[in-house]
Amino acid sequence: MVGPAIGPIRRSFAPWNDPGVKPFIEFRHVTKRFGEFVAVDDLSLQIYEREFFALLGPSGCGKTTLMRMLGGFDEPTDGQVLLDGQDLGGIPPYRRPTNMMFQSYALFPHMSVWDNIAFGLRQDGTPKAEIKARVEEMLALVKLEKFARRKPQQLSGGQRQRVALARSLAKKPKVLLLDEPLGALDKKLREETQFELTDLQMKLGMTFLIVTHDQEEAMTVADRIAVMDQGRIVQVATPAEIYEQPNSRYVADFIGDINILEGHLAPAPPGSTRLECAATGANVEVRQETAAPTGGQAWFAIRPEKVRISLDAPTDPSVNAVRGEVWDIGYLGDVSIYHVRLSTGATLKATITNATRLVERPITWEDKVWLTWSHDAGVILTR
């Protein structure tokens, strides 16, 4: 089936930049304590209608607790959770217009696929004919028409995942909550399902909130990502911004592979920043304004794929360049990661795309190489 062209919608969808749009979901100074443990710490967050929003962080960062407070399974110790302008405080989960797809799927083992999907509709007292139509629509959506009479234990993991999805969508919730929805699937199926999820979300025009610890998953599916650490949000931004302009070492390090070098800010012409960096033995120039004062501690972060590696000295004197020796090579098939030891003892990683079949490495162990990068390849971080 050829769906609506989602490209243009995707490209222009950015309600968070429009001050005229009211947030659909709002966490206002929400704190959640379990005894002494602070799971969510004075957190405020705004999510917009039709957004696919991801909460990303390591286990124990409070992302699941945050989602459970929206679903009604946990009540905030302090602060407010609002949905579509309504304060959800004190409303039990069975009266909330949200539905959740559980990490374990939580399918009712004594009910057929059909009855599982119909459960919520029956609970609402929906007329029988309508239930039938809706369940069949859901079964078609997840392509499980043939399995309607099966019990959950007679299905594969991927099929169960789709039943869980159909069940949580059947009541047309205002927000669909997805708790690590693809965690139990193998890598190939997970990647396929990620794209299916985004297509589905566009097609249904619903607001999706996903909790995941898998950064690739968050980046693939989400319009925006909130990176969390110890009950707080560190950064909220689009996947590209998170990757290219992390606001802290924590975010830079959590998402993807990165080189982080420590240094001190040196005087620089306007529109750029210069870092005196002991690790490289040279100053690093970055085209970026930094508010931090000269002399302050800062870090230079650069992704390995943005570092060029070459046997020849750079001809352009303006680029950042350091010398080193190839210490180790990680061959991953599509790319090779070079670990280059600098004369200062620091190690920098650089990746090369293996565009041709690898017969003999042009650059190999113990080669003396030049690492270069342009002024806009990396970022200066002050925390």
Scan residues 206-265 and list those touching another protein (CB under 8 A): none
Can residue 168 be called a binding residue for another protein (CB under 8 A)?
A: yes
User: Which residues touch 293 (CB under 8 Å, ≥6 apart)?
Assistant: 265
Sole window of 106-114, 237-245, 308-316, 360-368 interacting with another protein (rule: CB under 8 A): 106-114
CA-wise closest residue to 197 among 170, 220, 226: 220
Specify the DSSP class assigned to residue 292.
S
> At its nearest, how many Å lie between another protein and the CB of residue 102?
5
Give whichever of 72 and 263 is closer to another protein, judged by the CB atom.
Answer: 72
302: its two tokens: 């650069």
Tell me the C-alpha distance between 337 and 14, whole Å.
Answer: 35
Closer to another protein by CB, 104 or 283: give it.
104
**How far is Cα 81 from Cα 357, in angstroms, rounded to an integer?**
54
CB distance 45 to 201 below 8 Å: no
- Indicate the residue among 44 and 123 with the shorter CB distance to another protein: 123
Binding test (CB under 8 A) with another protein, winner from 10, 14, 58, 108: 108
Of 292, 316, 313, the closest CA to residue 375 belongs to 316
Whether 345 contacts 360, CB under 8 Å: no
User: Please, which residue, 110 or 188, has the CB nearer to another protein?
Assistant: 110
Half-sphere exposure of 313 (CA within 13 A, CB side): 3
Binding mask 115-134 for another protein (x = CB under 8 A): ----xx--xx----------
**Which candidate, 30, 35, 42, 115, places its Cα nearest to that of 81?**
30
Confirm or reject binding of residue 297 to another protein (CB under 8 A): no
When the beta carbons of 95 and 187 are compared against another protein, the nearer one is 95
Residues 39-78 close enough to bind another protein by CB under 8 A: 71-73
Closer to another protein by CB, 148 or 321: give it: 148
| Residues at the contact surface with another protein, assessed by CB under 8 A | 71-73, 92-95, 98-100, 102, 104, 106-110, 119-120, 123-124, 153, 167-168, 171
